[in-house]
Structure 1
């Protein structure tokens, strides 16, 4: 059992005394192979999403999963670590570093509903600002974790990147809850997607066969249609999507594999981006590497 669970044996007296590791917090004493593999995948995925201090809080559960799989070597699982990987769908940046005290303080304030006084590095002004925050929600987006909070006496919810909080202490100001606030509603209404408009739009695009195959398996939206291939092999995609910058960035990533037909404003934006890129790459590259070497 000690090969599957964090058990320790005290052999100083007989009968031997067994106990769980002091840091063991799991309420589930059993684990099977599928659960262990799921936890291993979850750990790899969370490492690319959350700051290390947050992932470390689940370290005991992840260690138990690896220990369980290591104990199955006699059943052919000796090389399980070479068979399991979780990879992002796009380029993943390293998670922003969050101070352990900041993570703990924000977690406590959010769950116990009290204010925090912070010194915050303003990205727009490039200077440290002091705020009293009323935490309303927490969102992990790509490699950055954000606190959603109202500030001082204002009622509008703003975003604060946790890694830019330089100092934090419990606040003295009474906490002001926003009863109607919902993180899900905040996200749905474009809180993180840089909306270009308030309504959804009908996207029509001519796409390559390989992208069409992918969208048949993992649709872009619930309202999606794909045509039969045209004379040029292209397939027409029609889908109802949010009118936001995030969707535009997603389309841009496919380059010539996507030609947007509608909305016409999106087509204009993408055409202008293509024109600027063509102009940028038309001439010879400058001696950037040489300048970097000289300044190193």
Structure 2
């Protein structure tokens, strides 16, 4: 009964959060596809994009003012690009400084995992030291209002902007991976790195490019998430865990699975509020993950990146 009464009221917020989870989940699944590595520092790539978007917005928008018209679109795009670029730079540096030396030494997978956790701890503590530990709101970059009503639920401009931006980025990525030379290299390395190397694929370059692509999406998601809620030095922790859960839910190593898993997790998390207290939201998300893995351990789609397209 609770779901039928409030379904539409919670569906749109769920899709909004789910689309952001999906963007971050893609970063996890891309890196896992080419390195068989869970990059737990990806949550800090997400965080860095949030801070970058914050600083861009603060530089463009005077306190207490809201841009209009073309200015709103331009400032929004600049904030999005700023978050994406910084996210890509942080991801690139992570690969070069933290992971590439381990590959050269043929380090065990456990060392990669410990390094990823250490890099995550270092980055969020560095952000707390440099930027402070208080939550900060990104300046409003456009007028937010109700656009239309869907079965009694109000759909706002901000929700449409976030969902639309995330979907466009996911579609573009899917086309890049499935239709371009870069995507062919990523899929080849994901399927069989040794054979790909023998066929002339530059493994190091493909891995760096994969980190950069994941960083672009993660940094952009950080800006989008920060504009929806707020920016904080720990903002990547819980969304990062949920995005990882979404990647596993959809099928770790599968780009489309990460998209589906993120959207599904966001919707289930939001709909649970209609029947349970908001304090149970995080618990419900992981209960869904456990149930799916019990009955389908490979996730919903269950293919690896090398065969996903």
Q: Taking structure 1 as the reference length, what is the TM-score of the superposition?
A: 0.22
Q: Taking structure 2 as the reference length, what is the TM-score of the superposition?
A: 0.21
Higher relative contact order (CA 8 A, sep 6+): 2
More helix, by proportion: 2
